[in-house]
Amino acid sequence: MVVRKIVPFAIAFFALIFQSCDKEPTKKPLDNSEKLFSVEFIPHVGENDLPPLGVNDFVSKFGGESFTVNNWAMLMSDFSLITESNDTVILGDGYQWVNFRANRTSFDYKNIPTGNYKGIYFKLGLDSNINHGDPTVWPSDHPLNPNLTGLHWGWSGGYIFHAFEGMFKANDTASSSGFSFHTATMEFVSEYFLPLNFEVGSNSRKAVVTADAQQYFENPNGILLIEKAVSHSAGESEKILMNGLLSNAQSVFVLKSVE
């Protein structure tokens, strides 16, 4: 008897509990047709992961020196996939900003055409009209917005295409000193083609690009930081150094896999 009288109250009680709370918004099911093509950049030193940027953990380099990276950022344009038949499939609008210290290293793209591809292409740098155009026109979250990236001279020199900075020691007992390479000006726009055959089908794919910091200093040009540790792409000696660094940069980036 007691139970029969309690039941309606109990039902009302629990119904109220369930009804009085806001309904969870209905979750939209994942759209499997939106396959992604992702590109991830992973900083390396040789075959190993680069120690976290900004950590005073020195790794050896050419000439008995050692170095640690504090900041490594890149502005890319014409970021694209190259098909087997040499057609170009631009990723997004072709611009991208990689910043290893901020862990901005992985990028997703939709609607990549199915087919066979033979590699990834990008420029470190921009076309002249963009480089010397008005930097204030870009949306706040665009890779070319200087307020986001800090990669603009803020003067008439245009953008910094590539910033590679850190500390180095000339030998085991030396105290550390800074190095700073800022690539800029149209003279130093550089192109990269990272070859690897892969297929884009009905599933999402992820390309892994390694960036080996050690290669900047040794392949093919041995660079001793004790001799000169700074280049902002201006002045004769800085230009020689920047040319050496960018020549080496061709060995820095490798398309390791497309999974």
Partner 1 sequence: MKKFSSIFFILVVIVAFIGCGKEENAELSDSNFSPTLIEPSEIFPAEFGMPILPADNPFTEEGVYLGRMLFYDPVLSIDSSVSCASCHKQEFAFGDPLPLSVGVFGLKTVRNAPALFNMAYSQKYFWDARVNRLRDLVFEPIQAHNEMAMTLSLLEARLEDIPRYKEYFKKAFNHQPNVIDMSLALEQFLLSIISKESKFNRFFPGNNPSLLTASELRGAFIFNGLVDFDENNMTKGADCFHCHGGELAQQNNPLMGGIANNGLDPYPTDLGYGKITNKEQDMGTFKAPSLLNIAVTGPYMHDGRFTTLEQVINHYSDEVHYENPNIHPQMSAHGGIQLNLSQQQKDDLLAYLLTMTDTAFLNNPEYSNPFKP
The contact set with partner 1 (CB under 8 A) reads 2, 5-6, 9-10, 12-13, 16-17, 20-22, 54-56, 70-71, 73, 99, 101-102, 135-141, 145-156, 163, 165-167, 175-180, 229-230, 232, 234-235
CB of 20 to partner 1, least distance (A): 4
Residue (118 or 142) nearer to partner 1, CB: 142
CB of 146 to partner 1, least distance (A): 6
Residue of 233, 255, 257, 259 whose CA lies nearest to 244: 233
CB of 12 to partner 1, least distance (A): 6
* Distance from C-alpha of 66 to C-alpha of 179, rounded to nearest angstrom: 11
Residue (37 or 95) nearer to partner 1, CB: 95
Distances (CA, A) of 30 to 33, 34, 86, 124, 173: 9, 9, 33, 35, 56
| Omega before 8 within 30 of 0, i.e. cis | no
Residue of 133, 104, 126 whose CA lies nearest to 183: 126
Residue (101 or 206) nearer to partner 1, CB: 101
CB of 164 to partner 1, least distance (A): 10
Residue (45 or 151) nearer to partner 1, CB: 151
**Which 8-state DSSP code applies to residue 146?**
H
